[in-house]
Structure 1
Amino acid sequence: MRIGATKLYAATATLGLLSGAPLGAQGEKDWASYHANPGGDHFSPLGQITPANVAALQPAWRIDTGAGGLQTTPLVIDGILYAMTPDQQVMALDGATGRKLWQRKLPDSNLQPVRGLSYWSSGKERRLLVGAGSYLHALNMKTGASIATFGAHGRIDLRAGLDRPLASVALALTSPPAIWGDLAIVGFRTAESTPAAPGAIRAYDVRTGRLRWTFHAIPRTGQPGAETWPADAWKTAGGANNWAGMVVDAARGIVFAPMGSAVSDFYGADRKGNNLYANSLVALDARSGRLLWHYQLVHHDLLDRDPPSPPVLLTVDHDGRKVDAVAQATKHGVLFLFDRATGKPLFPIQETPVPQSNVPGEASSPTQPMPTLPAPYARQRLTADMLTQRTPQAHDAAAKAFAEYTSNGPFAPMQVGKPTVVFPGFDGGAEWGGQAIARGRGILYINANDIAWTGSLAQASGAQGEATYQQNCAACHGMDRKGSPGAFPSLEGVMTRRLEGEVAATILQGKGRMPAFAHLAPQITALMDYLRHGDAPKSDRAEMAGNAPSTQRFIFTGYRKFLDSDGYPAVAPPWGTLSAIDMNSGRYLWRVPLGEYPALTKSGMEPTGSENYGGPIVTASGLLFIGATVYDRQLRAFDAATGKVLWQTTLPQAGVATPITYMTGGRQFVVIATSNARDAKAQAGSGYSAFALPRR
């Protein structure tokens, strides 16, 4: 498919394309859910800002929130905007002016990302539900004070009830709860390697915090799905957790939850089988947590190919009738579409033979499910003719490196000692920002990354400090502790740059993208010795493998972007895209590059697209707003019918979050969180930027 702004076939006229419900109730002026509404379609019925006047959009207000990563999609209720800071302070702002109404730092908060908040109301009762670290808080919306009757003094400890010793459980509430009736339905983020908390979705009473039901994603002995694991795996296995968030069919009372991969991510000899319900879309009865249906998107995942975002609810024309459907995007660049009541695929899915692992002890799945429609929204296999042609030197360097790699499609498993190309990369394909729907038309908008990464396995060490590092830290910071440029920092010399207590606190409590590793408390001294000396001390080196904190024979050597000699992606563009897909037919309407590298554009290159994090929103007037691009710091408004950019502006930092739109005081606003945390070369900072049309 040619990438460009040209439509692939005729699209409906802009104003007719997004024919949502007319603006009516106060709630339609708000942004009251993480992804706009319980069904997560990122759609707003507002229409004051149109394709005809969007060029006049201008800054309305700005609030800075300090250094750190900020990924929050705010809520707006009755003109009040509720948001987070990078250090997990909750604040309420006047949505028209940005004036701060209150701000509160939550107890036991840390520097983990919080991507959204939840709102619940019933009659005159109203409250915010906010995740901070491993706790779920209920807050008074007028003051930010804790609601003491919820849980223990206004909060629930989500580590409790997971069949593991409390102190050993490390988790965080990255995505906000789904709300249905008087239930807050919660997943969590946990470690990517053993030991990790076992995946569970739990529903709590929003008034009292009492646990109402639990869905165990690693089935108990005798339950359906247990046969896809070793015997009694639920007692020791981890992961299969919902970290990306959920959506709800409020009328049917169905919760749709994408489940994460089982740990360890890249070596599964101790979890032989397909590992249900890891890497699955599950449909649960919101009243009881009972499993209604499921579909596993990846069998026995060995590449961390878990679903990166919540699914999205939409209605499509299928075989001459209207079908209420649910669509699920993936990191590996394909889109699944199901009848949301039955789980039946609406386009055929083929079990496709895939390359097999040659790692001792591993038993990879012989096939993987691949939908026949829509076509993939990211390239699926890197070949030598797809390498960068940016300069002869860049191409030669890429070709030389590529000759040393194995590149065999999106499910080629890791090898020992030889890098495997992961394409699309570990960050997608799709990412956590989610997708948008042209309500009533069945058109889905999705942004995607389209660059390659590499990875490999290595024999695990028997020395405790080194083994602890390899099992828990090397995936991001590398076996050599040098990190991955532009993604993860080097740990060389960290013990001379930071106080010992600061390093220990960061490891045990987490910070930013790094999760907490509370279970490493017994190994913390050995681990810091390894970080300090670059090798284990003699007493540590003498330990045998049986004393190491993990039984993994092979460990992942680290995430590596495949870059050229100048630090740009080593594959040919596009490196990021935005697509419109007609989900009635599975056909693309248009696809355009999303983002650019300013230096390359200045040198005369056409926009290449770039890595992007955060999703799009669409409005009834036919506009699509998206930030997401890391390096050009743009917020753009597209014509949803054609993919043409109608307006763009440079943000103070990158808009690596999903924007929102709302109406207050007679004006429609567009707001986005900004942060430079993903660009190591940029000045640190974060905040929220608001835009509106000039006052009349």
Structure 2
Amino acid sequence: MALAKSTKRQTRGVVTDRLASAFIAGFLALSLVNPGHILPAASAQARHTAIQTDWPVYGGQSADDRYSALHQIDRTNVHKLKVAWTFDTKEPGGLQTNPLIVGRVLFGFTPTQKVIALDAATGKNLWTFSTGTPGLQPTRGLSYRTDGTQSILFAGLLSNLYAINPATGKLISSFGDGGKIDLRKDLNEKDVTQSFAALTTPGLIYKDMIIVGFRAPETEPALHGDIRAYDVHTGKLRWIFHTIPLPGEPGYETWPKDAWKVTGSANNWAGMALDEKRGIVYVPTGSAVNDFYGFDRIGDDLYANTLLALDANTGQRLWHFQGVHHDIWDRDFPSPPSLVTVRSHGKQVDAIAQTTKQGYLFLFDRTTGKPLFPIEEKPFPASTAPGEKASPTQPVPSIPAPYARQLLTADVLTTRTPEAHAWAAEQFKTFISNGIFVPFSVDKQTVVFPGFDGGAEWGGSAVDIKTGVIYINANDIVWTGGLTENKPGGSLGANVYQSQCSICHGGDRKGNPPAFPSLIDEQKRLSDAQITEIIHNGKGRMPSFPNVEAARLTAVLEYLKTGDIAGSATPTPKSVNRNEIAGAKIYDKNCAICHGDDLLGAPSNYPGLLGVRLRLTDQQILANIHNGKGRMPSFQKLTDADTASLLHFLGDSASPMVESAVTSNNSSKKEVESALTPPGGLAKYRFTGYRKFLDPDGYPAVQPPWGTLNAIDLNTGKYLWKIPLGNYPELAAKGLANTGSENYGGPIVTAGGIVFIAATNFDHTIRAFDSRTGTLLWQGDLPYAGNATPATYMIDGRQYVVIATSNARNPKGPQGAAYVAFALP
């Protein structure tokens, strides 16, 4: 399973292996299944040639070009589009799904992660699949596979990948464990029950394998972000690529010694692209944890923030490009790359384009990894945070120009009203604003422009395969961030909150609404049970935290009630309802009679259990539970679920960071320990939280445009056009229109000369633009925001455009979620 050894050709930039002597030739030979109902998947090139009428892959095709050869809807008639059907999920929450359309069936998700099959011509529900456990993670798509005899629909729900019969909505029990596999396994982890993984973006099908990444937390503990391929029939692991290299693997030297033992993520959450003809899968990865203070991972940190070209048959690395060295800004590659053919230096070159949060677009020869536009390693400032060592250089493309602004100056501040400008000017005086790749300082806010949500985001870009023009929607607003000291001596609840929650909700619990809600008075709105469910299962952009076991969870609940920083470190607050916590109920029923409800025991007769998981391994604890020890009886009646809940309640283990960090760039143990706060393993500094730079009225505190749609000719690197995307309806009503707005989701482009995109947060609109000029040709009203990527397909000679809508990113608006399809009359 280990990564095969390779030959490196250079230290930074693009690095290649000796390419295999021959790549997989020819396309998959797939035949029709269930004629008129489910169609086979084929190669992107073949589908385009045959005029593909469905949308069987996330993004349209495995090349992720978001291109459709359909042209019934074109520049001359797009203005006639009308709503063909609407499917109301009757659920609140986020809906970011780019649905699949295979034959006459649309496959999608609901906000609570039910899988649905709809008649794609009418919107009628055909079946619904539910695990029985509501999920609240983003679910952006599904995967479909057929070999002519069996069709399989793959759906990522919470930490599991399910194999579903697309005709019936029933599990295919021969896959994995009764129809599912746990994505937390196969990652060198000791206890996956305390880990989080979610397949927010679907895997790619190649031959008889499904290749997957996953979403992981932004803080410790986090799983390794390894890329894996599983057998589509059995669920068995076929290959694995370690994004945090093991000893002896290339890239290991870019981390501290044994970093793989204590560091996590470097994961692919954004999606992938596949060159089926060559048998190469292209995988963009995110940062390692912790995102903003990397004292324990000094070095370039390969293969975090890297575009990987892997042999899709074996997982062997062919070449790679790292877009950010030692990322301490959360500058993940945010979207799948796009395959395209361009003309470079007089020759046709099969290329790959990768967008970024910081507004850069990189273009490579997709076989060799050679940049098609120059990339220069430019110097950037050193870190002033004790224990941190920022990379001295970062890669910057000379062409194309960035599609988002990167420097906040006084003349860019908002002029929406005199009062807003005066407020912004005062705030600006307190910021560090020196452009991109400026390391965060302690107790000082540093400008991040474009913000943590880009630039580009997960919606991806669209490429017209006929012209080589790429269409990218981008956010263009300011966020800020900084570091502050993790001061010891606080209550357990305060310490857990600061280490796990403050990264989004802020050290003061005020958050940054609407993206990151305030948690002040949260327990007046939600019960302990509701908060516990959200913490353990996640919701929206918030990941789950199964590692926060119940003993610490009760302390967090107490802290959220009182805000008491200096409270007791003993995790047994009486005001928390222990009957709402599974592990606490099991403990109270079986263990408290001897060890006390406060876990303090009665030494020497009954030992205290506070911190027991720091003293004993889980295997030792489980052996004592099942077999008994001394005067303690056995508890064989407890199920595996019971003991897992009990372990959560009893506590977790600290991470051994110090020895790993000592080896980083000759750091001394004293230097590393100065970056730690007792008990060992807690970083001395933490991120102050994501902060949008919004004026007192809630609008971006910079001048428009606040969101854009960009058309770039990849043959030349030149812009064809750039326009604002989106409006704030209340501002437009006052005459301030065409401002652009935050946007999440992506475009598609068709042979009819149309770019379709919704994406905007506030105006509930889907738009059609002339792909040549950027002229707005049509716009349609939506019930909610179209924070997703559209799909287009044809049934019975009629072309449809469908978009998933919801309002999770605008909690002040009407709540709900629906799929809406448009067609010509």
Q: TM-score, normalised by structure 2?
A: 0.80
Per-residue CA deviation, residues 502-550 of structure 1 (Å, 9 max, x unaligned), is: 2112111112221011111152122222112102463229999866595
Contact 1:421 1:453 in 2 (8 A): yes
Aligned residue identity for 1:533: T
2:279 to 246, 250, 253: 253
Report what 2:540 is aligned to: 512
Mapped pair 1:480 → 2:505:
no
Instruction: Determine helix, strand or coil for the equivalent of 1:601.
Output: helix
Residue aligning to 1:63: 87
Deviations 1:581-636 (A, max 9, x none): 00011000000000011121111124110000000000011001000000111100
Q: How many residues align?
A: 674
How much has 1:106 moved relative to structure 2?
2.4
* Residue of structure 2 equivalent to 1:335: 361
- Does the CA-based 8 Å contact 1:624-1:640 persist in structure 2? yes
Which residue of 1 is the match for residue 242 of structure 2?
Answer: 216
Residues 467 and 548 in structure 1, CA contact (< 8 A), matched pair in contact too: no
Following the alignment from structure 1 to structure 2, what is the Cα–Cα distance between the partners of residues 328 and 489? Answer: 31
Q: Which residue of 2 aligns with 1:9?
A: none
| C-alpha displacement of 1:566 | 1.5
Counterpart for residue 434 of structure 2: 408
TM superposition shift of 1:47: 0.7
| Aligned with residue 468 of structure 1, among 496, 513, 521 | 496
Determine if the alignment matches structure 1 residue 176 to structure 2 residue 202. yes
**Is the CA contact (8 Å cut-off) linking 2:709 and 2:723 kept in structure 1?**
yes
Question: Match for 1:508: what amino acid?
Answer: H
Query: How far off its partner does 1:380 sit?
Result: 1.0
Counterpart residue number, 1:567? 698
> Is 1:661 paired with 2:792?
yes
Q: Which has the larger radius of gyration?
A: 2
1:35 aligned residue: 59
Q: Is the 8 A contact 1:38 1:249 kept in 2?
A: yes
Query: Counterparts in 2 of 1:35-434, with a 5 A limit?
Result: 35-65=59-89, 66-164=91-189, 165-434=191-460
Distance 1:461-1:144 versus aligned 2 partners, 3 A rule:
farther
8 Å CA contact 2:159–2:197 kept in 1: the answer is: yes
| 1:23 positional shift | 7.3
Q: Which amino acid aligns with 1:498?
A: L
> In structure 2, the residue corresponding to 1:643 is in which secondary structure?
coil
Task: Find the counterpart in structure 1 of residue 770 from structure 2.
Answer: 639
1:458-509, Cα deviation, whole Å (9 max, x unpaired): 1013233212111111111111111102211111112232221221121111
Q: 1:4: which partner in 2? A: none
Q: How far off is 1:208 after superposition?
A: 0.9
Is this contact kept in 1: 2:159–2:184, CA < 8 A?
Answer: yes
SS in 1 for 2:746: coil
Distance 2:440 2:237 in 1: 40
- In the alignment, structure 1 segments of 5+ residues that lack a partner are 1-19
Matches within 5 A, 1:596-611: 596-611=727-742
Task: Give the Å deviation of 1:24.
Answer: 7.0
Counterpart of 1:32, as a letter, is P
Distance between the aligned counterparts of 1:594 and 1:21, measured in 2? 33
Cα deviation, 1:12-58, whole Å, max 9, x if unaligned, reads xxxxxxxx989775x81000100100100000010110110011100
Q: Distance in 1 between matches of 2:389 and 2:798?
A: 58
In the alignment, the residues of structure 2 paired with residue 424 and residue 213 of structure 1 have an alpha-carbon distance, to the nearest angstrom, of 37
Deviations 1:361-393 (A, max 9, x none): 000011110001111000111111111111111
Q: CA deviation at 1:108?
A: 4.4
Q: Which residue of 2 aligns with 1:11?
A: none
Relative contact order: is structure 1 or structure 2 higher (C-alpha 8 Å, sep ≥ 6)?
A: 1
Structure 2 residue 528 is matched with structure 1 residue 527: no
What residue is the counterpart of 1:13 in the other structure? none
Q: Find the aligned partners of 2:380 and 2:476 in 1 and give their Cα distance.
A: 21
AA aligned to 1:528 is L
Deviation readout 1:331-368 (Å, 9 max, x if unpaired): 00000001100111111101111122100000001111
CA–CA distance in 1 between the matches of 2:121 and 2:442? 56
> How many Å separate the matches in 1 of 2:132 and 2:245?
34
DSSP 3-state at the match of 1:325: strand
Q: Is the 8 A contact 1:331 1:428 kept in 2?
A: yes
- Higher relative strand content: 1
In structure 1, what is the Cα distance between the partners aligned to 2:406 and 2:255? 29
Give secondary structure in 2 for the equivalent of 1:120: strand
Q: Match of 1:12?
A: none
- SS of alignment partner, residue 540 of structure 1: coil
Contact 1:108–1:133, Cα closer than 8 Å, also in 2: no
Q: Which residue of 2 aligns with 1:585?
A: 716
**DSSP 3-state at the match of 1:414:** coil
| Residue of structure 1 equivalent to 2:465 | 439
Query: Does the C-alpha gap of structure 1 residues 37 and 606 become closer, same or farther in structure 2, counting only changes over 3 Å?
Result: same
Q: CA 1:605–1:368 in structure 2 vs 1: closer, same or farther (change >3 Å)? A: same
For 1:541-560, list aligned pairs within 5 A: 550-560=681-691
Q: Report 1:605-620 matches (<5 A).
A: 605-620=736-751
Find the residue that maps to 2:459 and give its secondary structure.
Answer: coil
Change over 3 Å in CA distance of 1:547–1:506 after alignment to 2: farther
Residue aligning to 2:567: 538
The AA in structure 1 aligned to 2:709 is: L
1:530–1:537: 8 Å Cα contact kept in structure 2?
A: no
Q: Which runs of 5+ in 2 are unaligned?
A: 1-44, 572-610, 612-653, 655-675
Cα deviation, 1:159-178, whole Å, max 9, x if unaligned, reads 11111111121111100001
Deviation readout 1:637-665 (Å, 9 max, x if unpaired) = 00000000000012100000000000012
More displaced 10-residue stretch of structure 1: 650-659 or 549-558 = 549-558
Q: Does the CA contact (< 8 Å) of 1:109 and 1:132 recur in 2? A: no
CA contact (8 A) 2:677 2:684 kept: no
Equivalent residues of 2:267, 2:285 under 8 A apart: yes
In 2, distance between residues paired with 1:548 and 1:95? 57
| CA distance in structure 1 between the aligned counterparts of 2:164 and 2:221, rounded to whole angstroms | 32
Equivalent-residue separation in structure 2 for 1:141 and 1:227 (angstroms): 46
- Structure 1 Cα separation of the partners of residues 700 and 204 of structure 2: 37
Structure 2 residue 813 is matched with structure 1 residue 682: yes
**Other structure's SS at 1:83 match:** strand
Which contiguous aligned blocks of 4+ residues in structure 1 show a shift greater than 4 angstroms? 20-25, 541-550
What CA distance in whole angstroms lies between the structure 2 residues aligned with 1:21 and 1:647? 31
- SS state at 1:518 partner: coil
